[in-house]
Structure 1
Amino acid sequence: MAGPAVASSSAPAPASATAAAAASAAQQLPGLKRDQVDRAVASLLKHVADQRAKAASTQLFDEDEIIYLTIALKRSPHPGGPKKLKPVRIPIPHPLFKTEGAEVCLFVKDSKGGEGHKAAKARLAKFTSKGGVSKIIGLSKLRTKYESHEAKRQLCGSYDLFLADERVLPSLPKLIGKSFFKKRKQPIPIDIRAANFPEQVARVVERSTFMAPPAGSCVTLRAAREGMGAAAAAENVLAALAGAVAKVPKKWSNVQAVYIKTGESVALPIYQTLPDKPVRIEGGGGGEGGAAEGEEDEDMEEGGEEEEEAAPSKASKGKGQQQAAAPKRKAAAAAAAAKGRQPKPAHGGRRR
């Protein structure tokens, strides 16, 4: 497949407007420094350019590199809960693709005879350039032709974006495999029966990126492209970050760190914060009850130390009393011997 067409924008917004939007996005994220984002993007693009120059003879870099945004969360939003399938749309100022050049594949519902597939083709044929869709694949064909892992991997690499009839979205994860999710190419639901179908495709392709609903402690989404330049890439990163954080439970207060990277590079940090102070919880209690139990444990420990300190003093006091009583016992024993009888043993001891 030829390299995807990259757009500066089909209807480019004024530079001042996008810069103002980026500044506004940065202000919504306390502690995030715009200059740190600019430096990280510039370093990442320089690294990609150096790698491209080294591999020029092997033609390994025939496409623009995608810049990914990774958000590490302090707490998982839904630990152990069901995983949501519908990707979340995040608006961005500069498009990753343009409709005229992007390779877009659409998954549709059909019967074993492929009737739904044929109907979808006939419907899209009414639109200019098929509404921006390059390939239509029915579920029956997806089950048979793309059954093997290798076939699914090749399908994933053959197109820039994947759309899906919103009615078949729940059936797709088992049919497309893990490659789509690893490459952040999970299908985006769309209403193919709507009259504004081409407008839906244009909005998906040119004015959006998408985030899988967070199920763990890390969120990754496509934010920019190498070919759009450092300034536009930084603006996209800020817009994608602000949009993604708005969809995360507890929003910015739940963000531990933010990184940017390409598919093969190391992750460059653009924001980091210290983790929350751990809270000690004893037993099943929590909150104030757990803290009270912890304080009670400390009091008990301190009381134990006091008892240990008091124990030696008690032992020494008892020993002194015994030493003081020894002469009296000797005198009583002498008096008893003089009277010709044995004295009673002290403390109920055994007679000698």
Structure 2
Amino acid sequence: MAPSKEVVATGSAAVAAIDPDQTLKASKALLAHIKKASKQKADESEKRNLLEDQDSEKIPIWLNLTTKRHIVDKARLQPGKISLPHSLNNDETTTICLITAEPQRHYKNLVASEEFPEELRKRITRVVDYGKLKAKYSQYEAQRKLFNEADIFLGDDRVINRLPKILGKTFYKTTQKRPVPVNLQAKAPKVDGKRQKRVKTEGTVNSGTAAEVAKEVQKAVDSAFVSLTPSTNTSIRIGYSGWTAQQVADNVDAVVTGMIEKWIPQKWRNMKSIYIKGPETTALPIWLTDELWIDEKDVIAEDEAAKEKANIGKKRKSLENAEEVEAAPKKAKKQKDVPEADDNKLDKQISDRKTRLRKQKASAKKAIDN
């Protein structure tokens, strides 16, 4: 399968794009392989499990993007969002926990109101504000219980940056259920097309209407979640094995476009490769670049590269001191006085030894004869 190779010259402002035919072809091949592997696994098992048949339709498909330079300098605990044409979380059994600003009762009333869509309301199993969260879920056991109560956690963007301190490693050790930011505030008023500052009134809560809150929640749930780290590799879930190839291809195009526009510095010039894969499959290429660097300063000459030595098993301090302290010259070994050889004495010793050996041999032969 030949991947798309849209070349972007160094310093060029040209916009590269993935080939939709190549994306569709890779999607078809990947889905066919996953289904074939699942069927083979089911045939080999002695007992047929109906739950396994359902799980085979929900095998995740991942989009892997590789860049020439790191996308960010440090890991971001707050997931990013990219809108998808085909939602990953449209299952009615997918539950949602909504973490809001205070007061909690106001947002519970919004979710319970008639303006809030009933289908979405059924999926929201818990609404908790920041104050209650801090009071009730600071302990590990309580955090574990909350972690298992919902599939998706949404956090009001006014409190989202304070959640890692409360929820800790229970939520932020992996990217599985990190709270996703959502805007629950009222929309700023506009005058002549320009946004104006909100007028704070005592006793009123700065929140959108039930319909506006529902729209923001639905938008977040239907998005792909992106966890950015200081790395050249980024993986994003974009579909399932039970989907059609066209659905997978549509989401691939949306995620690639979103990543380029929002987060990848220098956009296509910084892109190296794009693949799709399953959890246990080979990655299938969609797009590859012909340039391995962005500009000439990324290329190190051979003589300069040879000067760079790996710091293996040495501390920085010892390396710095090594440059300042000159190597001490090795001391010459003191030679031992060897007495001169006496050839006459040595010849006499050899002769005496031979005489003794002849006598011993004669004595032994005589003893055998007797």
Judge conservation of contact 2:84–2:254 (CA < 8 Å) in 1: yes
CA contact (8 A) 2:79 2:228 kept: yes
Q: Deviations over 1:129-166 (max 9, x none)?
A: 364523334554577558448964x7556544221122
1:89 maps to a residue whose letter is K
1:75 alignment partner AA:
R
Structure 1 CA distance for aligned equivalents of residues 281 and 93 of structure 2: 27
* CA-atom RMSD in angstroms: 3.5
Q: Which of 61, 80, 85 is the matching residue for 1:93?
A: 85
> In the alignment, what sits opposite 1:34?
20
CA offsets 1:146-199 (integer angstroms, 9 cap, x no match): 8448964x7556544221122221122341537667445432212332111011
Query: For residue 158 of structure 2, what is the amino acid of its counterpart?
Result: R
Q: Which amino acid aligns with 1:252?
A: W
Instruction: Give the 3-state SS of the residue equivalent to 2:51 in structure 1.
Output: coil
Change (3 A) 1:61 1:179: farther
- Residue 123 of structure 1 deviates from its aligned partner by 3.2
Deviation at residue 58 of structure 1 after TM alignment:
7.6
1:279 alignment partner, one of 299, 302, 319: 299
Mapped pair 1:52 → 2:43 = no
Runs of 4+ aligned structure 1 residues displaced above 6 Å come to none
How many residue pairs were aligned?
247
TM-score scaled by length of structure 1 = 0.58
- Residue 60 of structure 2: aligned partner: 66
Do 2:153 and 2:179's aligned partners in 1 also have CA atoms closer than 8 Å?
yes
CA distance in 1, matches of 2:159, 2:127: 14
- The residue identity in structure 1 corresponding to 2:28 is A
Q: What one-letter code is carried by the residue in structure 2 that aligns with 1:268?
A: L
The CA deviation string for residues 16-40 of structure 1, in whole angstroms up to 9 with x for no partner, is xxxxxxxxxxxx9637333332232
> Superposed, which structure 2 residues align to 1:42-191 within 5 Å?
42-53=28-39, 54-55=41-42, 57=49, 59-60=51-52, 62-63=54-55, 64-79=58-73, 81=74, 83-98=75-90, 100-109=92-101, 116-126=103-113, 127-129=116-118, 131=121, 133-139=124-130, 140-141=132-133, 147-148=139-140, 152=144, 159-174=150-165, 175-177=167-169, 182-191=174-183
Higher helix share: 1
Instruction: Sort the Cα spacing of 1:60 and 1:271 in 2 relative to 1 into closer, same or farther, 3 A.
Output: same
Distance 1:92-1:191 versus aligned 2 partners, 3 A rule: closer
Instruction: Tell me, in whole angstroms, the C-alpha distance in 1 between the residues paired with 2:128 and 2:280.
Output: 30
Q: Which amino acid aligns with 2:251?
A: N
CA deviation map 1:190-231 (0-9, x unaligned): 23321110111222223x323234532222222222233111
**Separation of aligned partners in 2, 1:73 and 1:217:** 5
Residues 86 and 212 in structure 1, CA contact (< 8 A), matched pair in contact too: yes
Q: Is 1:239 paired with 2:258?
A: no
More deviation, 257-266/132-141: 132-141
Q: 1:144 to 1:255 in 2, by over 3 A?
A: same
Q: Structure 2, unaligned stretches of length 5 or more? A: 1-13, 43-47, 185-206, 305-370
Q: Distance in 2 between matches of 1:226 and 1:29?
A: 31
Q: Which position in structure 1 is the counterpart of 2:208?
A: 194
- Aligned equivalents of 2:227, 2:292: Cα separation in 1: 24
Q: Secondary structure at the match of 1:89?
A: strand
Q: Give the whole-Å Cα distance in 1 for the aligned partners of 2:70 and 2:140.
A: 33
User: What SS does the corresponding residue of 2:273 show, helix, strand or coil?
Assistant: strand
**Pairwise CA distance, 1:71:** 0.9
Structure 1: distance between partners of 2:164 and 2:53: 30
Query: In the alignment, which residue of structure 2 is the partner of 1:332?
Result: none
Mapped partners of 2:276, 2:174: distance in 1: 16
| Residue in 2 that maps onto 1:229 | 244
- Counterpart code for 1:48: I
Shift of 1:75: 0.4
Cα distance in structure 2, aligned partners of 1:217 and 1:171: 28
* Structure 2 Cα separation of the partners of residues 108 and 200 of structure 1: 13
Q: Aligned partners of 2:34 and 2:128: how far apart in 1?
A: 34
Looking at structure 1, the residues matched to 139 and 282 of structure 2 have their Cα atoms a distance apart, in angstroms, of 33
8 Å Cα contact 2:157/2:183 also seen in 1:
yes
The residue aligned with 2:285 is: 269
The TM-score, its normalising length taken from structure 2, stands at 0.56
CA distance in 2 between partners of 1:149 and 1:61 (Å): 34
* CA distance in structure 1 between the aligned counterparts of 2:88 and 2:266, rounded to whole angstroms: 29
Structure-2 change in CA distance of 1:52 and 1:108 (3 Å) = farther
Change in Cα spacing, 1:183 to 1:87, as seen in structure 2 (3 Å) is closer
Q: Is the 8 A contact 2:72 2:228 kept in 1?
A: no
